[in-house]
Structure 1
Amino acid sequence: MNFFRSKKLFVILIGFILLVVLIGYSLNSRGHLNFAEKVVSDAVGWVQNVVQAPVTFVTDVTSNISEFKTTYEENQVLREQLSQQKSLVYDLQKIEEENEELRSIIDMTNTARDYEPIYASVIARSPEQWVDQVTINRGTNDGVQENMVVRTAEGMIGKILHTSRGTSTVQLLTGFDEFNRVSATVLRKDKSDIFGMIEGFDDETEMLLFRIIEESDEDIKEGDTVYSSELGGEFPEGITIGEVKEVVADQYGLTRIAMVEPAADLFDIRNVIVVNRSMEQPEGEEEGDDES
């Protein structure tokens, strides 16, 4: 019995010694891995790489999607802000142009002595009559009548074709022809003026056709200004129509045609003046006329 007990103690002692040796050996060899540890370490590393690769891929994709979404949202905001800025710049430019045009109209009408201006704005321009007609927001309720001259600050653009109570249709100079003409003249200092008719529009050159009826001793030439004339009995005189750019013979060679560039922009019309010549005379003048 004692023998077996002594043997067990001996085995325990030997095991303890071996454990101490192994621990010591392990501590002394901490800087170097044995073959088994290397195999285990490589296996663990391989498993980690296999597991980490899809995790990293998914993480990167998720991160890229998030960054792309954020960038897209920022771009949308920037695009909207840029669009708003462009819209504000456009609105500001239009307002400045309109103010300049209205100031020109006011300055021009302040010097008017022979007619009463009726201010109006263009409210429609149908595609079918884009070149020939526009609709304004003044009608018979405002004193507008057929055949009244319509102009801008730069010059004549046409006449009233027909009216309603609140609106009127303007026949532009581009729609005039030999049956619908404007009596016009070129003034000459110390010489007879040159008279003719605006009776058409050349679509190719975008010029008005001024048929010369009566010339002075000095021929019409490039740079001359064409004004409206009262000789036709329908329009007031002195309204600028345009500037002569070229003089050619008509198709029959009997008369000459001056190609006139319109003073007003006939394709961009916003604010206009209807020339009302039916102004009431002051009472003092009427009494003077009666006495005479």
Structure 2
Amino acid sequence: MKRIVLISFTAIILIVTFFSGIFIPKRAFVVSVNFAKQYLRTDFYQENVLLKLQNENLKAQLQRVQDVPDGGVIFDEHRSDRIAANVFSTYPFNMKDTISVDRGSSDGVANAMVATVADSILLGQVTGVREHSSVVRTIFDSHWQLPVRIGPDNINGLFEGGNDPKVVLVEKQIKVGDGVFSAAKEFPMGIKIGEIKEIKEEAGGIFKEATIRTPYSIGEVRAIFLEQ
């Protein structure tokens, strides 16, 4: 909607200028055009990011339904007690281990709440709460560890956070593209973390480890959900 209004406004200015002979300094005109181009480019970029997250969310839901064992209970992304929160910018610093959001105790946020991206993708956990803001520790914290299950065979592994998250202590065969889901008691069972990106043998050859591709870039996340 904002893009349509901006395009219409720019078109009106150009038409009026052409037919009425209104003088517009060249520098001012160039600045206006450049601003419009930058605005549209940013708007398109954010729409693409949102569309990507929506697609990844649908993919996570489908994988979760396919991979859950018979009789198992899976994470419900439609719970009514979720709190939507906007992420504060840390630009130009590239902070990945924690983020701050604009919801706090006055909005019902409490410590240990689960933070998700696009409904059903794990981002982290609330570790600090103020009246109107909160701090979320993300899975990119290098000290983060939690048990996970991998792929349609629900193979056990241990997730380790950091700039390049990975799973270790994997005893059985896994493959690139397998979904990685939380199996920790602190989080809803079956919430997706990411997918297997690259596999390698650990020292000794008994276990395997693999890097994980998360379905988002932390710098692109503008809004998240918080829930118990």
Q: 2:29 aligns with which of 51, 55, 78?
A: 78
One-letter identity of the residue aligned with 1:244: I
The residue that corresponds to 1:112 in the other structure is: 77
The residue that corresponds to 1:273 in the other structure is: 225
The residue that corresponds to 1:150 in the other structure is: 115
Structure with more relative contact order (C-alpha pairs < 8 Å, separation 6 or more): 2
1:166 aligns with 2:132: yes
Q: 1:238 aligns with which of 190, 193, 204?
A: 190
Contact 1:156/1:264 (<8 A) preserved: no
The residue that corresponds to 1:89 in the other structure is: 40
Q: Calculate the TM-score normalised by the size of structure 1.
A: 0.55
Counterpart CA distance in 2 for 1:255 and 1:168 is: 38
Contact 1:183/1:235 (<8 A) preserved: no
One-letter identity of the residue aligned with 1:159: Q
The residue that corresponds to 1:183 in the other structure is: 147
Q: 2:177 aligns with which of 217, 220, 223?
A: 223
Offset, 1:245: 1.5
Counterpart CA distance in 1 for 2:139 and 2:199 is: 19
Counterpart CA distance in 1 for 2:92 and 2:32 is: 33
The residue that corresponds to 2:14 in the other structure is: none
The count of corresponding residues between Structure 1 and Structure 2 is 189
The residue that corresponds to 2:168 in the other structure is: 211
Higher helix proportion (structure 1 or 2): 1
Counterpart CA distance in 2 for 1:118 and 1:99 is: 18
One-letter identity of the residue aligned with 2:90: R
Q: Calculate the TM-score normalised by the size of structure 2.
A: 0.68
Offset, 1:220: 0.8
One-letter identity of the residue aligned with 1:194: I
Residues 77/141 of structure 1: CA separation in 2 closer, same or farther (3 Å cut): closer
Q: What is the SS of the residue equivalent to 1:175?
A: coil
CA offsets per residue over residues 198-245 of structure 1, 9 Å max, x none? 1133x4xxx311123554xxx11111111122xx21011222211111
Contact 1:212/1:258 (<8 A) preserved: no
The residue that corresponds to 1:134 in the other structure is: 99
Larger Rg, first or second structure (1 or 2): 1
RMSD over equivalenced CA pairs, Å: 3.3
Unaligned runs of 5+ in 1: 1-72, 278-292
Q: 1:199 aligns with which of 160, 174, 178?
A: 160
Unaligned runs of 5+ in 2: 1-23, 62-75
Residues 102/212 of structure 1: CA separation in 2 closer, same or farther (3 Å cut): closer
